[in-house]
Amino acid sequence: MQYPPDVTAVEVTPGPAAANAGKNITCSYGVSAATCLAWGENKTPIPDGALATATFQISAASRSSSIAIANSPASASDGEGNSLPVASAGGTIQLILPPAINCAPSAGPRLLNQYYSAQCSVTQGAPPYNWSVSSGALPPGIYLTGQGTSVQIAGKPTVAGVYRYTISVVDSNTPVAGSAKLAYAVTIQASAPKFSLVGSMAHLVSSPDWTTTFTLVNTSAGDEQAELNLWDDGGNSLPLPLALPQQGASESLVTTPSFDWTLGSNASLILQTNSQAGAPLQSGSAQLDATGGVGGFAIFHLNPSSQEAVAPLETRSASSYLLAFDNTNSAALGVALANIATQAANIAVVVRDDSGVPIASGSVPLPGAGHSAFVLSSLFPIAAGQRGTVEFDAPAGGQISVLGIRTTPPGTLTSVPALANVGTGGGAFAHIAIANGWKTSFVLVNTGVSAAQAHLS
């Protein structure tokens, strides 16, 4: 077990033996153990070889502010390697976590000459704190005021344009001060931005075991505004803690159901869910709105096994979608469905065998903006051990997105793209691999209503 990566220092409350001897303890930390040094009351090393180095085994490690420890007998030694008794030198390691910034609202200013105000506070770290704009510049008319644990970013933007800036705070921890920052990329303009729905990602999941990473890319020739909206299974806004890995380790998490950012031409933005220990599993879907040519995708990652699958950005609005499945050899198809419309809908489902003959049908109810994820053979047991297709029909005037995830022993994950009868059939596979342990399986599906010839070359 290892200390959390964001721990910057540790302090130890001395056990009875150290306290009775008038000694304090400081520790360095590493994997599975903390090495603690006993010091004199004047903070200088104890002379004459009496400097004791004791190893305390960690009994628990988490992001909580303290970790209980129990010493290992005869694990202490002086500077010359002589064993020292440490039977009563136990204590509690107090973790000094780096500061973190939280601003409400999390979004920056947008409208020219309209008053904007955000209250920002700092938690953790060691006071007093020093706030600043560490990179870029606030839009003219917007000011950072105050110090201490809370500051305000407020004012009326007076000059239109794109502004990229970073708010930072530095604490008073010694010997190394902790810091945190929060980056912004905003567009100030005279009227509200004209966002359009670009597409949706049918599945996201966040928990201590699951991480979803969103990648957004501006493919246009100029700056574009992007807004990523997160929805839970019931169609409610889903606030999740999001990290921005491109901004560095000291970037604070932003907990929000809607994240907006201005992307430069050909620039990319990475957002990553970051659930704390003990947080419940949360799932849902994501919708991407933008003012221009922004695309993207999501990757959800199972942390214990490092298995991953891709949720592509569904930009089509088809009347139906098909997933091919091969549930033989203990494989199983998982399905994610997302309702893009704000109205509740019943999604009609038809399961067919690999000759195209219907073998089951039903429906999946979804709230407006709602989401459902299930194993196909659990909902339709006849699909167990079979090959075939499953069709999902969008309601009249509605819009859905669909994703398949195939699992095979011993737990590998593979994305199965949804097929739709839109546009011209055919296409190209960008990559195949054979030999040296690799095998490529091609699955061809007729999404039409009549027989069709296929040629694979």
d(CA 23, CA 410) in angstroms, rounded, equals 53
End-to-end CA distance of the chain: 51
Among 72-81, 303-312, 327-336, the range scoring the smallest mean pLDDT is 72-81
Domains 100-188 and 197-308 share a fold: yes
Question: Taking residues 4-33, what's their average pLDDT?
Answer: 47
316-457 is classed CATH 3.40.50.300: no
Which residues, including other chains, have CB under 8 Å from residue 184's CB and lie 6 or more apart? 108, 163, 164, 165, 166, 167
d(CA 364, CA 372) in angstroms, rounded, equals 8
The CATH number of the structural domain formed by 100-188 is 2.60.40.10
The answer, yes or no, to whether residue 201 has pLDDT greater than 70, is yes
Give the sign of the dihedral formed by CA 162, CA 194, CA 316, CA 274: positive
Domain extents in the chain: 9-96, 100-188, 197-308, 316-457
Question: Taking residues 206-211, what's their average pLDDT?
Answer: 94
Coil, helix or strand at residue 46: coil
Which of the two residues, 14 and 31, has the higher pLDDT score?
14
The residue written with tokens 């991953």 in the block is 308
Other beta carbons within 10 Å of 32? 12
The answer, yes or no, to whether residue 67 has pLDDT greater than 80, is no
d(CA 44, CA 206) in angstroms, rounded, equals 47
Say if residue 368 is exposed, middle or buried (CB neighbours under 10 Å; 0-12, 13-18, 19+): middle
- Per-residue pLDDT tens for 223-243? 999 999 999 999 999 999 999
Question: Taking residues 418-428, what's their average pLDDT?
Answer: 81
The answer, yes or no, to whether residue 47 has pLDDT greater than 70, is no
Total residues belonging to the chain: 457
**pTM recorded for the entire structure:** 0.82
Which of the two residues, 281 and 66, has the higher pLDDT score?
281
Question: Taking residues 42-47, what's their average pLDDT?
Answer: 35
* pLDDT score for 217: 98
8 A C-beta contact, residue 425 and residue 453: no
* pLDDT score for 94: 52
Question: Taking residues 328-338, what's their average pLDDT?
Answer: 97
Peptide bond into 358 cis (omega under 30): no
- Per-residue pLDDT tens for 370-417? 999 999 999 999 999 999 999 999 999 999 999 999 999 988 999 999
So what CATH class is 197-308? mainly beta
The answer, yes or no, to whether residue 86 has pLDDT greater than 60, is no
Where residue 139 falls among pLDDT bands split at 50, 70, 90? very high
Where residue 276 falls among pLDDT bands split at 50, 70, 90? confident
Across 130-139, 271-280, 418-427, the highest mean pLDDT is recorded for 130-139
